[in-house]
Structure 1
């Protein structure tokens, strides 16, 4: 019997063709989901870096970082695809978002030297208004490139074979992608291991280099964890009202002398000069190490003669602006996300500070810093903190440099000059730069101070270079003392460092000297944590002040303590600081020191209510409803920035005079803190 096989063969061919089409569509889907992220990352870096050579050089030199950026971009595309269901449309949306991220970042770097941060969306919505910045050929070329890319991806809709994946698979892909983005955004333990294995170094103190080294997508994602500050569970109008009532009751009980004005000094208010010396620390505190001579004799003399002690810094080796933030505002980094930078994230409106308080008392409040004013956003932040002016390195005239930066002696000369030419009493907050790391290069030539101990040659060189810089800081303080000792202007100087120096990688010098038992900070004892965050504090005045010993005090409590020393009435937030400091003088996220100098890993229950008050007030002032201002110190707590901020340095004549100066040599960006 003859069988007709044609229908069966036709059906077989049809099924084979369908399988081939499905395979082709699947391959197209996979290639699209892989190639588009790879091309997107390349395009983003090209938009940021401005040249094909720089882009390819970064990719070839950082292949693991490039793949991480591609992986994160894949997760974004896959999540959008899981929601939308169309490859071309999902790709266009992804291209638009990533293109805008790169474009905004490029414009921000061009305008103010900063890339695009997650908190630009969450906390600084005004920074998203870039319409006024879309000018110039370079910006228009980038906009055109992004538009062309989107059109091209959309056009692929008519080229790529259409395919669909089961809804369960789409949901699974979407959930996986969302979790991966979340894991890297908050840096879960697994994500942390992947980042460490890939050699990711998060340079939080220099975000422009952070983005340049790690790539835009990865750096942006790593910053997500520092974007959001949760509202405390105990924060409410009622809780703040209770704090205000308590502070007013305490004020009524203070002795009259505590409320006296500083006008006691023959009708003159004293100049108050804070000097935060870059990475200043006492190297003679190192165990098992001796020096050929004392590198910091002024500090050691003042420790015997004047009020002195130690400050507990929230930082180690970097993050200078976070110490400024604590001292100037009285707020604590302990209540903010780890790795966050308040100057760049949270100070987007006027914030009450020592600068605005002294301005209310008839002082001229000035910031002085011997580095460029854009760094850490100081130009903007100092205005929000209530300073009248900010003298950064751009306004130093013919400055002396030593090593890599403007010398500490030059900073002292500028302080003297500003005080001598100003009729009003001055509050000056000074930040030096000379002794900034790294220290492995003997940048001062032959070092005067020779270290002896069980140190490797490299560690010895690092320590001796650091000691030379610490000595120069010490002598710059002596220069100020010599000047104001003979001045008829009452003057108080408060001198301290911002953090311990980074003396080699993995705490090399500290480990070799036996100052710590291990280079793994997670294994340090509480005593070691305390040592690695304790900075010498000394004060001096040319008028009588009782000598006080300060065993340990957090940076955030220093302002309140100085106001007490001057018998100045403290505003609400600093009054609360003083109350807390009496019970918990030392406060870090991983160390609490009580009034008996007992160390705790977390706060004792007995002080938790007062800590809650402190946290609530900080949240209220930075992020909340400003309830406190409706109950107490309204004018101070709601004080606007000074309308004439930096007028003296923005004046064209002043700028012309300053052009004779030379900017400090550029440091290696990765080393700048």
Structure 2
């Protein structure tokens, strides 16, 4: 009898395992087809088998710890579905798959949402997590054995990431610049493991002083001696200091939608006055580091003068030290540096990031009267009005201290909602409803901007004003809205060189006080601070001028895995491939040197500051040896 019961139990267990694996197989088949049909996102056919095997192995691990087949099926479906369709949504909207840094940045997404969208986001995270915990049989010894094995595997990954990622790259392949293709050739579980391992392998020691010295000389070229020979005068004595106010206006998703010819907009959304002003500025462009989101990376570049080169949020992952970025640099000259952004204060780690780069004042959502809301977004009109009221009330404009007035707008963010005060006035072709919504948002955004500019220029006629879009707007999945007009391809791997230029260009206007608009051409965002210091007449040595040195003869716009060189003769995209132009090796070398300095400054030992802002180390060492100077 006992043997019969044992046989039945063993047979039942085998059937349960078969049912569990069959469930994963069916779910995988349905999920891949649903993603391909509704979002046009799925692994390549050549990767289907490996993606299925990876999901089956995960299923084996989960079912080995599961309390029952039913609980396993419920929890597995929830976890797998959220990851799979979350990845598909990111790919279709922003053109990039889920990456390890997205999990670290997930908290910011909750700060962006409200109402039912916030509730849905919380449920998408909490429900699968709770179901997974609920499905595990915590009282069974075998569960803890499995957890120990999983922990050991994680330990091996953490201990030997470089070896593992090299092996995975050889087997599964890796494209530095085409992350969507990486996902499509691997499937999601392998992609996440491979990129997590790569992120761990990148955690190398910060650059040493000799490495920084070599990079500094490569970046600054013949001008390196000007920086290195600076002595105590770098504190400010002997150098011209700026006194004019600086106003920087960063416009959420601000772009020229008239390029979307296939959408057949019924009218030009941009205010005619803006068109005239932009024409006077030579139709200059800012070359942004991001598309459709990640505004904080544009912020880092235009405030700190160094490029973002990876697909992560630098404010969260790379800014770990106090650094003399533009707010602190101007603060040392007596400026009151203040930032205004009517979003949650901690979004993209801005509280810590703004403090580290030197902002003295930060006005966030709780500092504004939210009196003119377009769903979650305070209108630009209200933001501008409240900032001007505070500047006038505190006597900041025209006061004893010059001001660096940094405004980051929030209105204009996807999904481009409008309130009853802003009815739609522009239509688009059938099927282009998102483009129409964006155009109507821009209609009001541009007019509110021009009204503010008139007031600001009247109140501060000698002020230096710069305004630009932070990135192109995200419209519909897979670069939809752009593909119909031939501006972009549906997949990043199919972009031509001109398409990469289109991907990053936003309108840029520089108003030099009473001299009016100035044509500055098309410049990468990280080269803007050096330009502003020159216009302010600020001659003090600064890290803000370093990366711009690498772009004097040509302007380099790094993007994840590639960089665009905007040259006088012809633009070129360097992909790290054999087909790259010969000149790509030189721009790559310069860019690597800039990255070394960036790592040193923002998360390393800051040897660069010793070179630029303290007496020459070699001079001090020689003086100490001769007995003429005591060491610091």
- Place the TM-score, normalised by the shorter chain, in its bin: 0.5 to 0.7
* Alpha-carbon distance in structure 2 between the residues aligned to 1:261 and 1:307: 29
Gaps of 5+ in 1: 1-15, 39-64, 81-116, 124-141, 161-170, 201-216, 264-268, 636-673
Pairing partner for 2:605 from 625, 642, 645? 625
Correspondence for 2:491: 520
Pairing partner for 1:605 from 578, 585, 588? 585
Pairing partner for 2:414 from 430, 433, 437? 437
Distance change >3 Å, CA 230–CA 463, structure 1 → 2 = same
CA contact (8 A) 2:565 2:572 kept: yes
Larger radius of gyration: 1
Correspondence for 1:153: 140
* Alpha-carbon distance in structure 2 between the residues aligned to 1:502 and 1:325: 20
Correspondence for 2:525: 555
CA contact (8 A) 1:497 1:536 kept: yes
Give TM-score, length-normalised by structure 1.
0.60
Is 1:371 the counterpart of 2:326? The answer is: no
Return the offset for 1:506. 2.4
Aligned-pair RMSD on alpha carbons? 5.1
Q: Secondary structure at the match of 1:486?
A: helix
Return the offset for 1:458. 2.7
Is 1:569 the counterpart of 2:549? The answer is: no
Correspondence for 1:419: 391
Is 1:473 the counterpart of 2:445? The answer is: yes
Return the offset for 1:291. 4.3
Correspondence for 2:578: none
Return the offset for 1:631. 1.8
Deviations 1:95-136 (A, max 9, x none): xxxxxxxxxxxxxxxxxxxxxx9789999xxxxxxxxxxxxx
Correspondence for 2:273: 298
Q: Secondary structure at the match of 1:588?
A: strand
* Alpha-carbon distance in structure 2 between the residues aligned to 1:219 and 1:355: 39
Correspondence for 1:500: 472
Return the offset for 1:248. 4.7
Pairing partner for 2:553 from 568, 583, 603? 583
Distance change >3 Å, CA 364–CA 180, structure 1 → 2 = closer
Return the offset for 1:76. 9.6
* Alpha-carbon distance in structure 2 between the residues aligned to 1:188 and 1:442: 48
Which of 408-417 and 495-504 deviates more?
Answer: 408-417
Deviations 1:193-246 (A, max 9, x none): 89769997xxxxxxxxxxxxxxxx999868726744737999542242245565
* Alpha-carbon distance in structure 1 between the residues aligned to 2:257 and 2:381: 20
Correspondence for 2:302: 327
* Alpha-carbon distance in structure 2 between the residues aligned to 1:153 and 1:586: 58
Correspondence for 2:356: 384
Return the offset for 1:310. 0.7
Deviations 1:456-477 (A, max 9, x none): x130x32232122223222232
Deviations 1:173-193 (A, max 9, x none): xx9xx9799969x99679988
Is 1:261 the counterpart of 2:240? The answer is: yes
* Alpha-carbon distance in structure 2 between the residues aligned to 1:395 and 1:218: 45
Return the offset for 1:390. 1.3
Pairing partner for 2:371 from 399, 408, 419? 399
Q: Secondary structure at the match of 2:255?
A: coil
Distance change >3 Å, CA 487–CA 511, structure 1 → 2 = same
* Alpha-carbon distance in structure 1 between the residues aligned to 2:183 and 2:610: 47
Distance change >3 Å, CA 294–CA 330, structure 1 → 2 = same
Return the offset for 1:389. 1.9
Q: Secondary structure at the match of 2:520?
A: strand
Correspondence for 1:362: 334
Deviations 1:300-356 (A, max 9, x none): 22223347511111211111111112222222122x3xx312222222332332121
* Alpha-carbon distance in structure 1 between the residues aligned to 2:245 and 2:440: 29
CA contact (8 A) 1:496 1:536 kept: yes
* Alpha-carbon distance in structure 1 between the residues aligned to 2:100 and 2:197: 9
* Alpha-carbon distance in structure 1 between the residues aligned to 2:210 and 2:277: 46
Distance change >3 Å, CA 119–CA 447, structure 1 → 2 = closer
Is 1:543 the counterpart of 2:509? The answer is: no
Correspondence for 2:290: 315
* Alpha-carbon distance in structure 1 between the residues aligned to 2:275 and 2:567: 25
Gaps of 5+ in 2: 25-50, 66-98, 106-128, 147-155, 231-237, 575-582, 616-632
Distance change >3 Å, CA 226–CA 276, structure 1 → 2 = farther
* Alpha-carbon distance in structure 1 between the residues aligned to 2:60 and 2:446: 54
Distance change >3 Å, CA 340–CA 398, structure 1 → 2 = closer
Return the offset for 1:430. 1.8
* Alpha-carbon distance in structure 2 between the residues aligned to 1:193 and 1:488: 50
Distance change >3 Å, CA 473–CA 218, structure 1 → 2 = farther
Distance change >3 Å, CA 224–CA 478, structure 1 → 2 = same
